[in-house]
Amino acid sequence: MREIIWAELTQATQEIVREFAHLLPRLIVMLIIAFAGWVIAYLLKWILRSVLRLAKFDRLSENSGASQLLNRADLPPSTELLSRFVFWVAWLGFILIGISVLGIGGLQQHIARFFLFLPRLFVAMFTIFFGLLAASFFSRAALLAAVNANLPSSRLLSVSIRTMITIFVVSMVFEELGLAEQTTRLAFGIAFGALMLGFAIAFGLGGRGLARQFLERRFVREKKSEKEDEPSPL
């Protein structure tokens, strides 16, 4: 009995040792890939941070309103956040390549899916950044034009434009990431349609006077009272 147990134990130990001996070089390769990946990811982070600082990316992000969002969420500035993101994505990518070297069954598919998802993640990030930039630019342009045209509720107009563009951008991002596509599409349709209907009703019924005033200003350019209200600038 003792011999059988001993023989089994010896066989099991030998198998473990054999398996380990078989795995050890792969493990070492994985660690080397992970370490090399860390170095490369760190370098990428450093290069990206320098390039973004040189390109004054933080100012662009401030203009787009992204910095304010990050501040509110207690997150680091956009340059730092983006370089950290690239670092982690690059390093994670290398770690996954390393893990794939181990040859563990079932993991390969997940790793492949991760790499296929990366381009969509980057596209989503670009979409949200430039979407916020566009929302900020157009809402500010509308605000300035409305203030200089002496239109009432300029801020409301500006906020509405920002909201509409943001809704549009967020729905695009969700669709790109493949998250709850149907729900997002439906929610976007309802929200956008409701907003437009609301505007149409408000402008058509509630703001008839405003609409007339706006159209008169836009098309009846020769109103005497307007000509005489300001001294000539030049």
Q: Do residues 74 and 81 touch, judged by C-beta distance below 8 A?
A: no
Q: Does 213 bind another protein (CB under 8 A)?
A: no
Interface residue with another protein among 27, 36, 149, 194 (CB under 8 A) is 149
Closer CB to another protein, 156 or 197, in the complex:
156
Q: Under 8 Å CB-to-CB from 174, ≥6 apart: which residues?
A: 180, 181, 184
By CB under 8 A, the residues from 154 to 183 that bind another protein are: 154-155
Binding to another protein in span 92-131, by CB under 8 A: none
Interface pick for another protein out of 141, 194, 196, 211 (rule CB under 8 A): 141
Note the Cα 219 to chain centre separation in Å.
Answer: 41
**How far, in Å, CA of 75 to CA of 61, rounded?**
13
How far, in Å, CA of 121 to CA of 114, rounded?
A: 10
Taking CB under 8 A as the binding criterion, the range among 24-32, 110-118, 119-127, 133-141 that sits at the site for another protein is 133-141
* 216 near another protein (CB under 8 A): no
Minimum distance between the CB of residue 120 and another protein, rounded to whole angstroms?
A: 31
> How is residue 67 written in tokens?
């910095």
CA 179 to each of CA 96, 100, 117: distance values in angstroms, whole numbers, following the listed order: 23, 27, 12
Window 54-83: residues binding another protein (CB under 8 A): 59, 62-63
Structure tokens given for 213: 């005033």
* Closer residue to another protein, CB minimum distance, 77 or 93: 77
Q: Does 231 bind another protein (CB under 8 A)?
A: yes
- Residue 149 or 179 having the CB closest to another protein: 149
How far apart are CB 232 and another protein at their closest, in Å?
5
Residue 60: other Cβ atoms inside 10 A: 17
Number of residues near another protein (by CB under 8 A): 26
Residue 143's CB is within 10 A of a number of other CB atoms, namely 18
Dist. CA 223–CA 221, nearest whole Å = 6
Task: List contacts with another protein (CB under 8 A).
Answer: 59, 62-63, 137, 140-141, 143-150, 154-155, 221, 226-234
